[in-house]
Structure 1
Amino acid sequence: MSPKTSEKSGSRARGKGGGRYPAFTPARITVLVLAVLALIFIFENTRQTKIRLLIPEVTMPLWTALLATGLIGALCGAYFMRRRQ
Protein backbone atom coordinates (compact mmCIF):
# COMPACT_ATOMS: atom_id res chain seq x y z
CA MET A 1 0.00 0.00 0.00
CA SER A 2 1.14 3.49 -0.68
CA PRO A 3 1.48 5.95 2.22
CA LYS A 4 -1.46 8.03 0.91
CA THR A 5 -3.81 5.05 0.85
CA SER A 6 -2.97 3.88 4.35
CA GLU A 7 -3.20 7.45 5.66
CA LYS A 8 -6.74 7.88 4.34
CA SER A 9 -7.98 4.61 5.74
CA GLY A 10 -6.40 5.39 9.12
CA SER A 11 -8.16 8.75 9.39
CA ARG A 12 -11.50 7.16 8.55
CA ALA A 13 -11.08 4.52 11.19
CA ARG A 14 -10.45 7.17 13.88
CA GLY A 15 -13.32 9.53 13.03
CA LYS A 16 -16.93 8.47 12.83
CA GLY A 17 -18.03 10.51 9.82
CA GLY A 18 -14.69 10.71 8.10
CA GLY A 19 -15.31 14.44 7.64
CA ARG A 20 -12.75 17.22 7.70
CA TYR A 21 -14.13 19.15 10.65
CA PRO A 22 -14.54 18.00 14.26
CA ALA A 23 -18.11 17.82 15.57
CA PHE A 24 -17.54 19.98 18.65
CA THR A 25 -15.38 23.06 18.27
CA PRO A 26 -15.11 25.81 20.90
CA ALA A 27 -17.18 28.12 18.67
CA ARG A 28 -19.97 25.54 18.27
CA ILE A 29 -20.02 24.86 22.00
CA THR A 30 -20.22 28.61 22.71
CA VAL A 31 -23.11 29.05 20.27
CA LEU A 32 -24.92 26.06 21.78
CA VAL A 33 -24.51 27.41 25.34
CA LEU A 34 -25.73 30.87 24.26
CA ALA A 35 -28.74 29.35 22.49
CA VAL A 36 -29.68 27.35 25.60
CA LEU A 37 -29.32 30.44 27.81
CA ALA A 38 -31.47 32.47 25.39
CA LEU A 39 -34.18 29.80 25.46
CA ILE A 40 -34.11 29.70 29.26
CA PHE A 41 -34.44 33.50 29.34
CA ILE A 42 -37.31 33.43 26.85
CA PHE A 43 -39.34 30.77 28.63
CA GLU A 44 -38.82 32.33 32.08
CA ASN A 45 -40.57 35.50 30.90
CA THR A 46 -44.18 34.37 30.58
CA ARG A 47 -46.20 37.41 31.62
CA GLN A 48 -48.50 39.24 29.20
CA THR A 49 -47.20 42.39 27.58
CA LYS A 50 -48.45 45.00 25.12
CA ILE A 51 -46.50 45.26 21.89
CA ARG A 52 -47.00 47.93 19.26
CA LEU A 53 -46.40 46.58 15.77
CA LEU A 54 -46.34 49.69 13.55
CA ILE A 55 -49.99 50.71 14.06
CA PRO A 56 -51.89 47.94 15.94
CA GLU A 57 -51.19 47.26 19.59
CA VAL A 58 -51.39 43.58 20.56
CA THR A 59 -51.23 41.84 23.92
CA MET A 60 -49.29 38.59 23.94
CA PRO A 61 -47.04 36.56 26.23
CA LEU A 62 -43.58 38.08 26.43
CA TRP A 63 -41.94 34.72 25.62
CA THR A 64 -43.72 34.68 22.25
CA ALA A 65 -42.38 38.12 21.33
CA LEU A 66 -38.86 37.21 22.50
CA LEU A 67 -38.89 33.91 20.61
CA ALA A 68 -40.16 35.57 17.42
CA THR A 69 -37.50 38.28 17.68
CA GLY A 70 -34.78 35.68 18.26
CA LEU A 71 -35.90 33.60 15.28
CA ILE A 72 -36.00 36.66 13.02
CA GLY A 73 -32.49 37.59 14.17
CA ALA A 74 -31.21 34.05 13.59
CA LEU A 75 -32.71 33.96 10.10
CA CYS A 76 -31.18 37.34 9.22
CA GLY A 77 -27.80 36.23 10.54
CA ALA A 78 -27.95 32.97 8.57
CA TYR A 79 -28.95 34.85 5.42
CA PHE A 80 -26.05 37.31 5.65
CA MET A 81 -23.52 34.60 6.52
CA ARG A 82 -24.64 32.59 3.50
CA ARG A 83 -24.26 35.65 1.25
CA ARG A 84 -20.69 36.22 2.52
CA GLN A 85 -19.65 32.75 1.38
Structure 2
Amino acid sequence: MASNPRPRKASGSTPLGDFFTPGRIVALVVAVLVLIFVFQNTGRTKIRVLIPEVIMPLWLALLATALIGLFLGMYLTHRRR
Protein backbone atom coordinates (compact mmCIF):
# COMPACT_ATOMS: atom_id res chain seq x y z
CA MET A 1 0.00 0.00 0.00
CA ALA A 2 1.41 3.35 -1.03
CA SER A 3 0.45 6.32 1.08
CA ASN A 4 -0.53 9.60 -0.58
CA PRO A 5 1.69 12.41 0.81
CA ARG A 6 -0.71 15.16 -0.24
CA PRO A 7 -3.76 15.81 1.91
CA ARG A 8 -7.03 15.70 0.06
CA LYS A 9 -8.99 18.88 -0.43
CA ALA A 10 -12.67 19.07 0.19
CA SER A 11 -14.75 18.38 -2.90
CA GLY A 12 -15.51 21.55 -4.84
CA SER A 13 -12.47 23.35 -3.47
CA THR A 14 -10.23 24.79 -6.19
CA PRO A 15 -7.17 27.02 -6.00
CA LEU A 16 -9.20 29.93 -7.42
CA GLY A 17 -12.04 29.20 -5.00
CA ASP A 18 -9.62 29.50 -2.11
CA PHE A 19 -8.20 32.76 -3.48
CA PHE A 20 -11.47 34.58 -4.19
CA THR A 21 -12.90 35.10 -0.73
CA PRO A 22 -15.83 37.51 -0.25
CA GLY A 23 -13.50 40.12 1.25
CA ARG A 24 -11.14 39.94 -1.71
CA ILE A 25 -14.01 40.21 -4.19
CA VAL A 26 -15.30 43.34 -2.44
CA ALA A 27 -11.78 44.82 -2.40
CA LEU A 28 -11.39 44.09 -6.12
CA VAL A 29 -14.74 45.72 -6.95
CA VAL A 30 -13.85 48.81 -4.88
CA ALA A 31 -10.44 49.03 -6.58
CA VAL A 32 -12.05 48.86 -10.03
CA LEU A 33 -14.58 51.56 -9.06
CA VAL A 34 -11.77 53.79 -7.75
CA LEU A 35 -9.84 53.38 -11.00
CA ILE A 36 -12.95 54.19 -13.08
CA PHE A 37 -13.58 57.30 -10.96
CA VAL A 38 -9.95 58.40 -11.21
CA PHE A 39 -9.71 58.02 -14.97
CA GLN A 40 -13.07 59.75 -15.56
CA ASN A 41 -11.62 62.88 -13.91
CA THR A 42 -8.70 63.78 -16.16
CA GLY A 43 -8.85 67.60 -16.06
CA ARG A 44 -6.14 69.77 -14.49
CA THR A 45 -6.72 71.34 -11.09
CA LYS A 46 -4.97 73.45 -8.47
CA ILE A 47 -4.01 71.62 -5.33
CA ARG A 48 -2.72 73.31 -2.23
CA VAL A 49 -0.78 71.24 0.28
CA LEU A 50 0.04 73.44 3.28
CA ILE A 51 1.89 76.31 1.55
CA PRO A 52 2.72 75.54 -2.11
CA GLU A 53 0.06 75.50 -4.81
CA VAL A 54 0.51 72.94 -7.55
CA ILE A 55 -1.36 72.49 -10.81
CA MET A 56 -1.63 68.82 -11.71
CA PRO A 57 -4.02 66.39 -13.37
CA LEU A 58 -6.97 65.58 -11.13
CA TRP A 59 -6.59 61.86 -11.81
CA LEU A 60 -3.08 61.93 -10.39
CA ALA A 61 -4.26 63.66 -7.21
CA LEU A 62 -7.13 61.17 -6.82
CA LEU A 63 -4.86 58.20 -7.45
CA ALA A 64 -2.30 59.49 -4.93
CA THR A 65 -5.06 59.96 -2.35
CA ALA A 66 -6.38 56.44 -2.99
CA LEU A 67 -2.88 54.95 -2.63
CA ILE A 68 -2.26 56.85 0.60
CA GLY A 69 -5.58 55.54 1.95
CA LEU A 70 -4.73 52.00 0.85
CA PHE A 71 -1.32 52.01 2.53
CA LEU A 72 -2.71 53.62 5.67
CA GLY A 73 -5.47 51.02 5.86
CA MET A 74 -2.98 48.19 5.34
CA TYR A 75 -0.71 49.63 8.04
CA LEU A 76 -3.51 50.00 10.57
CA THR A 77 -4.97 46.52 9.97
CA HIS A 78 -1.50 44.92 10.08
CA ARG A 79 -0.70 46.72 13.31
CA ARG A 80 -3.84 45.41 15.05
CA ARG A 81 -2.86 41.76 14.56
TM-score in terms of structure 1 length: 0.78
SS of 2:68's equivalent? helix
User: Within the alignment, does 1:79 sit opposite 2:75 as a pair?
Assistant: yes
SS of 2:46's equivalent? strand
- Kindly report which structure 2 residues correspond to 1:13-24, keeping only aligned pairs within 5 A, or say none: 15-16=14-15, 22-24=18-20
The unaligned stretches of length 5 or more in structure 2 are: none
Q: In the aligned structure 2, how far is the partner of 1:33 from the partner of 1:55?
A: 36
The unaligned stretches of length 5 or more in structure 1 are: none
Give the aligned length.
Answer: 78
Q: Percent identity?
A: 54
Alpha-carbon shift at residue 16 of structure 1 (Å): 3.9
The higher-RCO structure (CA 8 Å, 6+ apart) is 2
Q: In the aligned structure 1, how far is the partner of 2:45 from the partner of 2:20?
A: 38
Q: Deviations over 1:25-60 (max 9, x none)?
A: 112111101100100100110000000010011100
More helix by share: 1
